[in-house]
Each structure stands twice: as C-alpha cells, then as structure tokens.
Structure 1
Amino acid sequence: HPDGRTKVYVGRYVDRGEEGSNAWALAPSRTTSGAAILVRNPHLSWDAGYYEGHVVVPGVVEWYGDFRMGGPFQVIGGFNRRLGFATTNNSGADRDEVYALAVDPDRVDPDRVDHVRFDGGAMPVERVEVTVEFRNGPGYSTETRAFWTTALGPVIHRGNGRVYVLRDGAAG
C-alpha cells in the first residue's frame, strides 16, 4: 500500500495497529479467587481460522484449547490439568521461507520417493503416512493420510515440475 501503514495479507489490507498480541499470567496470590488466571488476546480477526480442540491420548496427554492449521506449533492457547499456555503474535518477524525446488529429473521414482535439486545435489522428498483415530458418532473411526516432507520442512504444494517446501526459521 502506498502510504506504508498497511501490509497485504491474503489479498486484503490490514492496519498495522492490529499487529501484535498480549498475554498475562496472574499468580494465585494476586487474584481475589486465589486461583491462577491466564488471559490472552491474540489480536487476530474472527475469520483467522481458529479451531477448537480437545486432544486426549489416555495416560499420555490431554489438553483443551484452540489452534490454527498449518504452523509448526498449531496450538495457540489452552490448558491441561497442570498448566495453561498462550502464544503471542508478531507479524513483523519474517521467519518463514517457501522454497520452489525443481524436481530432479534423474531421480524421480513414482513408486517410492521423488527427489528435488538443492545446493547442487539431490534431496529426497519422503512420503509419511499418519493415521488418526477420531470419534465418529458413538464409536471411533480411523483415517490415514499421506504427507510429504524434506530436510528443509514440509511440502505444501507440488506442480509444474516443482515442489514447494515451507521452511520455518523457528524450527531450528
């Protein structure tokens, strides 16, 4: 935008005053109820793609909160029996990169793994299957989906002889 006050996010302008977020943790000694309080305001629009989640792996983990699809740490706020957690947003940081990598024509194996060209060599694109059990009416169902990943990060798109990979700077 010509005035320099806005950024473009998915084809729309957003006032920079909306960027950022807040989170506060209050100790039990600081509240009238005597209970710890966690407050968060992520400063995201209502159409930002929040999803409610209650994840239970009996004897291993249980948490309740909200999340957004697509990030390396999808849970953005919630709690379990022992603690509450919140994330804050800083859209000013440019940490993520998308690599458009050419498919290596010498190493394409449609039955197994593709390879892409990177730093003068071939890098494998590995297929990973994930099976998830979920509640379906009175019972449970399972669904298996395939994902592709590289040493740089997950594949987010394939097409026209290229593999697009998301590299998250926070992933190490």
Structure 2
Amino acid sequence: MAISATVALWFLPFVLPLCLYVAFTDMKQMRITNQAVVLLGLIFLVLGLFVLPFETYLWRLMSLIIVLALGILLNAAGVMGAGDAKFAAAAAPYVALGDLRLLMALFMAVLLAAAATHRAVKYSPLRRLAPEWQSWQETKKFPMGLALGTALALYLILGALYGR
C-alpha cells in the first residue's frame, strides 16, 4: 500500500469513530450530518499537517477540492446525496494517490456487502432491534454512509497493518 502505516495509525483513532457515526446516522436518519463531515475535514487539516510531508499534505488537500467538485456535479445530476458527496470529499485527503485503485476496489466490495447486508437485515427479525430507522422504509434510496464510512475505516485499518 502507498499509505504509510504510521500515517494510517495516526489517523485511525480519530477517524474510526466518525466512520461508525456516519454509518449509524445514515442508516437511522438517512443523512450524514455536516458536523461529522466538518470534523473529518478538520482532523485531516490539523493532524495531516504534522504527519505528512508538506507537499503531500497540499496535494491531498487538492483531492478534497476535486472530489467535492465531482460530488456537487453528481448531486446535481441526482446520482448521489449531498451528504454522501461532502463525506467523500472530506475523506479524499486520507487516501494516498497510489492507493486509488485499491480504494475503488475496496469501496465496490464494501458497497456490495453493505447493500446485501442492509437488505438482508431489513427483511429479517434483526430489524426489530432498530425498528425506527428510516433506511428500512426507503425503497429507492440506500444509506451510502454505511458503505462510505466502512470503506474509509477499512482502508485506514489495512494501511495501518500493511502500509509501507
């Protein structure tokens, strides 16, 4: 992996709880809160300054702008929700450019697993554990924060274990 294990280890304890929170709130309320997105961005802004070389830090910040612009376009086209676009933009700087293909494959696998698991639980007795969750009522929308948060968390965990 292109991400340094040290960098991933520094980010992981701060980002992991946020990823879990985003997955939870998106399933419960079908929304990713602005506070979670801003906090994810702030964690990178502050911590990234200390754990990354300055040039790398600036390039990673540029990825936030690029992903945000693409997310705004996809949101305007109705392809993805605004919270999903903002979360993806705030998560982008955490990903080393050399790991982009790995992250895309990881995200696709996580998205399939999340969709299958969400659907299976929706139609099982497990649904009674959280009957008020809004995502159970949705027929056309999917809580993408479940997949986005899980993918970022897994990427950082894999980076901590197998990073350079």
TM-score (norm 2): 0.27
Looking at secondary structure, tell me which structure has more helix per residue. 2
Which structure: larger Rg? Answer: 1
Q: Between the two structures, name the one with larger relative contact order (CA 8 Å, sep ≥ 6).
A: 2
Larger strand proportion, structure 1 or 2? 1
